[in-house]
Amino acid sequence: GAGVSQSPRYKVTKRGQDVALRCDPISGHVSLYWYRQALGQGPEFLTYFNYEAQQDKSGLPNDRFSAERPEGSISTLTIQRTEQRDSAMYRCASSLGGGNQPQHFGDGTRLSIL
Amino acid sequence: AQSVTQLDSQVPVFEEAPVELRCNYSSSVSVYLFWYVQYPNQGLQLLLKYLSGSTLVKGINGFEAEFNKSQTSFHLRKPSVHISDTAEYFCAVSSNTGNQFYFGTGTSLTVIP
C-alpha cells in the first residue's frame, strides 16, 4: 500500500533476547521518526532521521536501543537484551520533512517481553 | 522546547451533542499545531493542522480547531458527534526550528448512544 508499513505487527519474546523492528516509510518521505507509546499515553519521541542521517536520538532510553536507516528508506529499531519494561507499542512515522509537515503513522508493532 | 497539555483524559458525550477537547501548548518560538485521532488497534490519523493564516482550521469528519495565541490553546470542536467519533485524540506541536513533534497524553472521547 501507499502508507507507512511496520513489521512485525506483534512481537513476543523472552527477556534478554534482541529484537529488531522494521519500518517502511511512504515513498519519497525524507524524515522518519520512531516513537514509543505506552497504554493511555501519547507517543513518546525516540529518534528521527533525515534521509540516512540520524538527526536526533535524544529520546532513546539507554544504549540498548539503536536505530538505523542505511539507505534513507527502510529503518530498523533494535533493542538489545530486552527487559520487561521495554514492552510497549512502537510506532514509526514519516513525513516530507520540516516541522510544518504532518507525520504519517504506521499501525505500530506491539512488543511484549515475557 | 515545546510541550502540550491535554487536561481532559476522558470525555463522555451523548450522540449528536457538541464536544470540545482542550489542548494547551507552551513554546518560546512560533508553532505548528496538529490534532490526530487514533481508533482502536490503528495508527494515528491526521485530523487537521494549523500552520499559519486563519486561526480557525477545518479538518476531516466535521472537526475544527481554533488557534488562540494569547491563550496558547488549540481546542478541537465538533458541533454534533457520532458514535463513530469514539476514539483517542492527540494534540501535537512542532516548530520551524526543528522536525520534532511533541504529543499530549491524549483525550479519550466516548460517544454515548
Strand-strand pairing, B19-21 and A53-56: unpaired
Query: Confidence class of residue B5 from pLDDT cuts 50, 70 and 90?
Result: very high
Q: Which residues of A touch B94 (CB under 8 A)?
A: 99-100
- With an 8 Å Cβ cutoff, is B27 touching chain A? no
Question: Tell me, what amino acid is at A105?
Answer: F
CB distance B58 to B49 below 8 Å? no
User: Measured between CB atoms, which of B9, B96, B101 is closest to A103?
Assistant: B101
pLDDT score for A1: 52
What are the mean pLDDT values of chain A's consecutive 10-residue runs (114 residues total)?
A: 90 97 96 92 93 94 97 96 96 91 94 96
Return d(Cα B50, Cα B41) in angstroms, integer.
27
- With an 8 Å Cβ cutoff, is B5 touching chain A? no
User: Measured between CB atoms, which of B45, B100, B103 is closest to A48?
Assistant: B100
Q: Do A102 and B46 touch (CB under 8 A)?
A: yes
Nearest CA in chain A to B40: A107
CA distance A64 to chain B (A): 22
Mutate to test the interface with B, among A24, A49, A103, A109 (most CBs of B within 10 A): A103
Query: Confidence class of residue B30 from pLDDT cuts 50, 70 and 90?
Result: confident
Nearest CA in chain B to A92: B43
pLDDT score for B112: 97
pLDDT score for B110: 97
pLDDT score for A61: 95
CB atoms within 10 A of CB B37: 21
Any idea what DSSP says for residue A20? E
pLDDT digits (tens, 9 = 90+) for B47-104: 999 998 899 999 999 999 999 999 999 999 999 999 999 999 999 998 877 778 899 9
B111 pLDDT above the threshold of 60: yes
The residues on A that touch B, with CB distances below 8 Å, are: 4, 31, 33, 35, 40-45, 48, 50, 55-56, 91, 93, 95, 97-100, 102-108
CB distance B38 to A89 below 8 Å? no
User: Measured between CB atoms, which of B6, B32, B43 is closest to A106?
Assistant: B43
pLDDT score for B99: 78
Q: Which residues of B touch A108 (CB under 8 A)?
A: 43
B38 pLDDT above the threshold of 80: yes
Return d(Cα A32, Cα A45) in angstroms, integer.
11
Question: Which of these, B106, B98, B110, B108, lies nearest to B31 by C-alpha position?
Answer: B98
